[in-house]
Structure 1
Amino acid sequence: QRKVIFEQRIELMADEAVNETVADMRHDVVDDVVSRCIPEKAYAEEWDTAKLKDEVQRVFGLDLPVEDWAHEEGIADAEIRERLLKAVNEKAARKAAQFGPDITRQIEKAVLLQTLDGLWREHLVTLDHLRQVIGFRGYAQRDPLNEYKTEAFTLFEALLARLREHVTGQLMHVELQMQPPELPEADLEHLEAQHINPMTGENEMAGDVALMERPAAAQQIDPARPETWGKVPRNSPCPCGSGKKYKHCHGRYA
């Protein structure tokens, strides 16, 4: 079992696309779902069409009139399988067209590998529990090794069935929501080109390109009136027009 799973995983990792594997899984899952609700060689009156409708909705996300199909004269379970498979494949094709080939390949491969890894870990735990149970059966004059092999094989078959259904179900329900990233609104009044020195607390823009904090929109800067200057970066030219840096002029008294 371990060898089979590991070899399959290596193949999946090497394959650029797994669409054929996914398509085979869809086909098998359709057969499994129909077989659970329409037993082989059963009469139409024995078909559990209500359960089939629920299973189709749960696994494939499709609301199909399977109960109406079952009441059609002369309908056979093979025809129901064909109709269901056609509807499932059409939905898969619509999703592939919506996502595009590249994203579809990425989604299929990611879902398949992640599901395989998760179910395999669960399977190993189940096998460990089985070993303990089989050990007790040895006291009942049974061959523990044969018991273990038989039940382990049954569990492995169930694992593969769960893998097919989980992968198919996830891919049939997956949706992509493309939303542009939300950007915070810019507060233009406080977007200042400045860099504060952590040692001095001063603005250290290269040269004298630091911008003065804008005063109120209606207020005009008057070189003769310091109260109109607002907060002036210390390395900026002094608004008084002296040509000196603010920290060496009026900033000395601020």
Structure 2
Amino acid sequence: MLTRLNLPDDVPIEAKMVTRAIKSAQTQVEQQNFEIRKNVLKYDEVMNQQRKVVYAERRRILEGENLKEQALDMVRDVITAYVNGATAEGYAEDWDLDALWTALKTLYPVGIDHESLTRHDTDSERDDLTREELLEALLADAERAYAAREAELEELAGEGAMRQLERNVLLNVIDRKWREHLYEMDYLKEGIGLRAMAQRDPLVEYQREGYDMFMAMLEGMKEESVGFLFNVTVEAVPAPQVEVAPVEEPEDLAEFATAAAAAAQQRGSGAAVPEEAPSKLRAKGIEDESPALTYSGPSEDGSAQVQRNGGGAQKTPAGVPAGASRRERREAARRQGRGPKPPKSVKKR
């Protein structure tokens, strides 16, 4: 309308109809924004409850508890879910045991054949096999396979290798699944407000679907953990050797007696004797639970000293960044008079 009248842009709009329309639209927008702010804490409460469950599980794993029973419970839950899905309808002869065995072999090395479990009833045309018998046989077979896997890893990397693998696998799977779940919940929250157009409470819908997604995440976490525990390829990484300073031979008998007395006193005081660290497992596709860290700090002469947890200290001259190359550090040290100087040319007489 203003375009048709060719009114300038700096002319104020004083029509009552336009003023009421603008005021009504502004009021609706403010009410909508208020409703969004009012429900922010309610939406966050859903994530807070889920966050408590996940963080409590991570804390329990990091504190070093024995995870064998938890891992076996995951194996039982996953196999039970597979069996219930394959035997939900019909009798034993209607079950697709071939498909069930194919799915189970992706989890662990199945050591029994379903044909050996099926018994044909002579009085009827049905196979005399119940769901409980099938589940019991598969659970026993899975526990035997888990014990064999544990013995294999202990032979490869020593005692406690399976506990180390359980901790690494569970931590990595929990972290990855939780990150994916956070992205999915954010995506759900962006479009959940449209449920109000269907006369549904967006908050209730968010709580319901968020709970379903969280339970699906937990089930997927169990299934993926079981698959990693049985099928991941591991190798033993030798522990770093501790360098021991050479012991100088005493020149006379008095020094030998003094050294022997000091050694006996050290053993009597209960001083710790360095032992060879056990081998560490490295699993393909599983991140290390202790990533390499780098610490830096000033030294006595003002240069930066970089310390890595797995290597020695490395001194960086002052004025050179910690990530500088070796050549740059040598040049800086030579300029400051600490490094080796280039040889001088010799003049012939």
Q: Please, what TM-score do these two structures have when normalized by structure 2?
A: 0.49
2:190 & 2:109 partners in 1: Cα distance? 40
Aligned partner letter, 1:115:
V
Task: Tell me how far 1:86 sits from its aligned partner.
Answer: 1.1
Task: Tell me how far 1:166 sits from its aligned partner.
Answer: 0.6
Task: Show the counterpart of 1:26.
Answer: 75
Counterpart check, 1:38 vs 2:92: no
Change (3 A) 1:70 1:123: farther
1:62 & 1:33 partners in 2: Cα distance? 13
CA offsets 1:68-119 (integer angstroms, 9 cap, x no match): 5345542111111111111111111011112123211110001001100000
Task: Show the counterpart of 1:188.
Answer: none
Task: Show the counterpart of 2:105.
Answer: 57
1:198 & 1:94 partners in 2: Cα distance? 62
CA contact under 8 A between 1:38 and 1:77: conserved in structure 2?
yes
Correspondent of 1:165 among 219, 223, 233:
223
Aligned partner letter, 1:134:
I
Task: Tell me how far 1:179 sits from its aligned partner.
Answer: 8.5
Task: Tell me how far 1:17 sits from its aligned partner.
Answer: 2.2
CA offsets 1:44-80 (integer angstroms, 9 cap, x no match): 2331212101111112233642255345542111111
CA contact under 8 A between 2:111 and 2:141: conserved in structure 1?
no
CA contact under 8 A between 2:92 and 2:128: conserved in structure 1?
no
Task: Show the counterpart of 2:205.
Answer: 147
CA contact under 8 A between 1:17 and 1:109: conserved in structure 2?
no
Task: Show the counterpart of 2:275.
Answer: none
Secondary structure (helix, strand or coil) at the match of 1:59 reads coil
Task: Tell me how far 1:16 sits from its aligned partner.
Answer: 3.4
Task: Show the counterpart of 1:82.
Answer: 136
Q: CA RMSD in A?
A: 2.4
Gaps of 5+ in 2: 1-49, 121-126, 239-339
1:16 & 1:4 partners in 2: Cα distance? 17
Task: Tell me how far 1:33 sits from its aligned partner.
Answer: 1.1
Gaps of 5+ in 1: 181-196, 202-251
Counterpart check, 1:199 vs 2:342: yes
Correspondent of 1:48 among 81, 96, 101:
96
Change (3 A) 1:96 1:146: same
2:236 & 2:186 partners in 1: Cα distance? 43
Correspondent of 1:125 among 177, 183, 187:
183
Task: Tell me how far 1:152 sits from its aligned partner.
Answer: 0.8
| Greater Cα offset, 118-127 or 99-108 | 99-108
1:7 & 1:42 partners in 2: Cα distance? 41
1:135 & 1:66 partners in 2: Cα distance? 50
CA contact under 8 A between 2:118 and 2:128: conserved in structure 1?
no
Change (3 A) 1:137 1:57: same
Aligned residues: 187
Task: Show the counterpart of 2:66.
Answer: 17
Task: Tell me how far 1:42 sits from its aligned partner.
Answer: 3.2
Task: Show the counterpart of 1:98.
Answer: 152
